[in-house]
Structure 1
Amino acid sequence: MKKLTTLRTKVFAAVMLTIATVAATAQTNGSGRLVKQDRDLPGFTEIEAGSAFSIKVSQGDDIKVTVETDDNYLDKIETVVKGDRLHIASMGMKNPSAMRVYIRMPELKTLDISGAARIETDGGITGTTLEIIASGASKVKLDLNVELLNSKVSGASKAEFNGNASVHRSEISGAANLNALNLKTLTTNARVSGAGKASIFARDEITADLSGAGALSYYDNGQLNKISKPGTLTFTPQNPGSGPSEEISASVEATDAGDSTIVKIGDIKVSVREGNPTKITIGGSELEVDDNGNVNFKRKKQTRFDGHWGGFELGVNGYVNKDRQFDMPEGYEFLDLRMEKSVNVKLNFYEQNFNLISNKFGLTTGLGFEWNNYRFDNNVVLLKDGNDLINDNFLYARNYNKSKLVVNYLNLPLLLEYQTNRFSKKNSFHIGAGLQTGLRIGSHTKLVYQDDGRKKKDKDPGDYHINPFKYDLMVRVGWGKLNLHANYSLNTLFKNNRGPELYPFTIGIALVSW
C-alpha cells in the first residue's frame, strides 16, 4: 500500500507540473512543409466541420474543395460528402502547421460549425434560405444576402454577420456572442438565454425573448440601446433607410472668442485650444501634440474591475482521506482512482464583478456548471447497500473497460481577486481566493464492457449517498487570459456515516476565458 501511495503522489505531482508547463511540453509533429491538395467531390449544399479548421467559403458556378496542411498530414484530413452535406474532420493530428480548407460552391443552405473551427466568406453568399449553427468555441464571420436567415449560436462561440437578410431568426445561448449590427434586416427575432449576448439591426420589427443573464443590443433612432431584463418584447424601431454602418455623425464646435475648436467624427475627437496641446481621442486612447511637435500617448483608464471567472476550464479531480492521503479507508479500497483519467470540466457561463479598491481589488461572483468524473482503478459496480456503499462486481465478475462515477454541480463562487494592472485585463498578473458553493444537480455511474464481443455501456443514475451541497476553498492565479485554478472541498463527497470520509479536490486550467 505504501508503494501505491508513493506512486499516486508522484502521479499527482506530475499532473500539477504538466498543467503549469503546458506550453513548454507541447510537441510539434507536423513537417512544417505546407502543401495544397484539390479534392474531387460530388455536389453539396451543406457544410459541417469541427476540430480547429480554418475555412474560407466562396460562391461560384462549380464545386471546388482545396485542403492545405503539412505534407505528412494530407491523408489525415477527411472531406466526405454524405447526401447534401460535406463533412470535414481530422484524424490523429498533433500540432499541425495549418488546417485550412478552401471551398467554392454554387449554393449554401446549411453551415454547422463546432469545436474551435473558424469560417469566413471570401466575397458574399447569396441565397434564399440559410441556416447557421455555431457551437463550442467556434468563430463565424459571414457576408450574406439572403431572404431568411436562421442562426443558432451556443457555447462560447462567436458569430459576426454582415450584409442583408429580410428576416433573421436567432437563438443565442450559453456564453455565445452574436454581432449582427451590420446585417440589415426588415425583422429580427432574437431569443437570448444563459449569459449570451446579441447585437442586431432591424428596420421594421424586433422581437426579443430574454432569459437568464442574456442581453440584447439594438439600434433605434441612431442610438445603440440595450435590453437585459428577462421577458418577451416586440416593438418597431426608428431605423429608416440603411443600417448604422453607413451613418457617421460629425460636428464642429467653436467658442465665441475663437480660441478653441472641437471636431467630432464618429468616435474620433480632435480638440484644439490656443496655448494648449492638441488632443486627438480615438476610442480608449488619446494623443497629445504640443507646439514643438512632441507626441504623448495616453490610454484611458479602465472604468471597472473585471475578474477572472467566466470561461471553459479543463482539469483533473480526485479525493483524499481525512489524513489528506490517497489511501482509501479500510473496506473501500475499490474506490481507488485512475487520476489521469478522472477529468474535471467547468463551464462558467455568467460573471458579475464588484470593485472594492481602485479597480485592482474586487469581488467576483457568477454561475457555472461542473462535471466531475471519478474513474475507478478497479472493476467496480458501485451500489447503495442500506446506509453504505459496496462494490457489486463480485456478482458478475466482469472485466470492465471503464468504470466511473460522474457528479454534476451548479456552482456559485465568491472570489476576492487582486490584479497588478487595472488598465488591461490581458496584460496583468492576477491572484484570487475564495469560497465556491456547489449544488448537486445530477450523478450517475457508467460502466463500459464487452459482452459476446460487443461493446456495452450501462449508465445508472442515483444519488449514491453523495452530499447535495459542496463547499470548496478556491485559489486562482494567472496572467492575462491564462488562468490556473485549484479547489479543495471542506466537506466530504459522501454523507456522514453513509460512505467513506473522502474530500474532493480539483486542479485545472482555463482553455477559453471571457
Structure 2
Amino acid sequence: MKSLSILITTVTFYLISSMYSYAQQTTDQIKDQQFTEAKETIIQDEREALKVEVEEINNRLQNGSISKTEADTLKNKAAEKHAKNIENRLIILKNTLELADRNGDQEKESKTGIYVGWDEDANDFVIKTSVKRKKEKKEVYDFRTKTGVYLTWGLLDLVDDDNSYGNTDVSVGRSTSFEVGISQTTRVFKKSNFLRIKYGLGFEWNKLTPRDNTYLVDNNGINTMEQFPSELRKSEVRFTNIVIPVYFELGPSKKIESQNYIRFSTQKQFKIGFGGYGGLNIETMQKLKYREDGRKVKQKIKRDYNTTDFVYGVGAYVGYGSFSLFAKYELSPLFENQPIDKNLLSLGFRLDFD
C-alpha cells in the first residue's frame, strides 16, 4: 500500500503541474470557484479510478497470476492512461469554457444552437443543444398504401361443364395450388379503411395428379389422359405462372390514434375480398416415376402440352385477421384448342402478412 500511495501522489503531482497552464488560461473566463471545483472533480475521479486499477493489479500479483515485473508494467500503463485522461478532460473543460464565453451561458430553446452551462447536480460543465421549435402540424394520416407478403395454398381440380369439383380425372387430394408474392394494400378513402384495393405480383405453381395410373399425352394437339404401360409411382403435371392479382377488400378496421398520426389495423378483424388476376404461363412440366426392367426411372418432360399462355381468372376470400378461406376459378381454359374447355378450380386458405 505504501508503493500505491507514492504512485498516486506522484501521478497527481505530475498531472496538476502539467495542466497548470490550461487552468491559467481559463481562470479569467469563469468564476474561480466554479473552475476550481470542476478541476478538482476531474482529478479526483481519475485518482479514484487509478486506485481501483492498482488494487486489482496487486490482487493478481498476490494470487500469482502475474509476476512482479508484469504488475509494475500494468501499473505504469494505468498511471499513464489516467494522466492522459485528466489532460484530455481539462482540454475539453478549457474549450468548453471558451465556447461559453463566446456564446453566453443561457439556454434559448426558441433558437437553434449549442449552449454551455454549469450543472449543479453533476458539479461539472455541460454542453446542451437547442433546436428551434416548429409550429405543431395538423394531424397526419399514415400512408394510404402499405406493403406486405401473401401466400395461398389450396386443393386443385380441373373441371368442365360435365365434371364438377371432385368428380374428374384428377385426384383432388393430391393436386394442389400454391402461390406466394408481394402485395400492396391501398385504402380507397382518405379517412376510412373500410374499402381497400389489394394488388401485387406473385408466382403460382399448379400441380395436377391424374387418377388411375394415367398420364398426360399430346396427340397431335389434342390432350388426353391415357393409361401408362407400367405401374406409375408418381404422375403429375406442373404449371408455373407469374400473376398480378387485384382484389377489392371490405371489412372493419381498428383505428389507432396518436398525437400526430392515425393508423388503421385489420388484425383481429373480419374481411371479405373479391376480384381477379391475370398473368403468364412460364413453364409446363410433367413428372413421371416408374420401374422399368427392375430399375427406378424418373422423367421430367418439359413440353408445351398446348397450355394457354395468358391466364386469367376470378377469386374471392373471407377471413379474420391474417387468415382467410379462398376460392379461385381460372376463366381461361388450361389447354388451348381442345374439344372441351377445362378450367382450374382451387379451394384453400390464404395468409396475409401486412
One-letter code aligned to 2:285? H
Q: Is contact 2:147-2:184 (8 Å) kept?
A: no
CA RMSD of aligned residues (A): 3.0
Identify unmatched segments of 5+ residues in structure 2. 1-106, 112-138, 256-264
One-letter code aligned to 1:343? T
Identify if the C-alpha distance between structure 1 residues 254 and 406 changes in structure 2 by more than 3 Å, giving closer, same or farther. Answer: same
Deviation at 1:388, TM superposition (A): 0.7
Q: Is contact 1:307-1:417 (8 Å) kept?
A: no
Structure 2 residue aligned with 1:314: 153
1:416 aligns with 2:248: yes
Percent identity reads: 27
Bigger radius of gyration: 2
Structure 2 residue aligned with 1:366: 200
1:342 aligns with 2:181: no
Distance 1:430 1:513 in 2: 14
Structure 2 residue aligned with 1:506: 346
Distance 2:154 2:351 in 1: 10
Distance 2:248 2:108 in 1: 46
Distance 1:432 1:308 in 2: 17
1:401 aligns with 2:226: no
Deviation at 1:308, TM superposition (A): 9.3
Q: Return the TM-score normalized by structure 2.
A: 0.53
Identify if the C-alpha distance between structure 1 residues 327 and 482 changes in structure 2 by more than 3 Å, giving closer, same or farther. Answer: closer
Structure 2 residue aligned with 1:385: 219
Q: Return the TM-score normalized by structure 1.
A: 0.37
One-letter code aligned to 2:245? P
Distance 2:272 2:178 in 1: 21
Distance 2:230 2:184 in 1: 49
* Matches for 1:149-298 after TM superposition, within 5 Å: none
Q: Which has the higher strand share?
A: 1
Identify if the C-alpha distance between structure 1 residues 362 and 512 changes in structure 2 by more than 3 Å, giving closer, same or farther. Answer: closer
Identify if the C-alpha distance between structure 1 residues 427 and 374 changes in structure 2 by more than 3 Å, giving closer, same or farther. Answer: same
Identify if the C-alpha distance between structure 1 residues 422 and 462 changes in structure 2 by more than 3 Å, giving closer, same or farther. Answer: farther
Q: Which has the higher helix share?
A: 2
Identify unmatched segments of 5+ residues in structure 1. 1-250, 256-299, 329-334
Identify if the C-alpha distance between structure 1 residues 414 and 476 changes in structure 2 by more than 3 Å, giving closer, same or farther. Answer: same
Deviation at 1:307, TM superposition (A): 7.5
Deviations 1:121-179 (CA, angstroms, capped at 9, x unpaired): xxxxxxxxxxxxxxxxxxxxxxxxxxxxxxxxxxxxxxxxxxxxxxxxxxxxxxxxxxx
Identify if the C-alpha distance between structure 1 residues 417 and 475 changes in structure 2 by more than 3 Å, giving closer, same or farther. Answer: same
Q: Is contact 1:341-1:375 (8 Å) kept?
A: yes
- Structure number with higher relative contact order (C-alpha < 8 Å, ≥ 6 residues apart): 2
Distance 1:482 1:392 in 2: 39
1:303 aligns with 2:135: no
Identify if the C-alpha distance between structure 1 residues 253 and 456 changes in structure 2 by more than 3 Å, giving closer, same or farther. Answer: farther
Q: Is contact 1:305-1:362 (8 Å) kept?
A: no
Partner of 1:381, secondary structure, is strand
Q: Is contact 2:183-2:200 (8 Å) kept?
A: yes
Structure 1 residue aligned with 2:164: 325
Distance 2:252 2:146 in 1: 12
Distance 2:108 2:151 in 1: 47
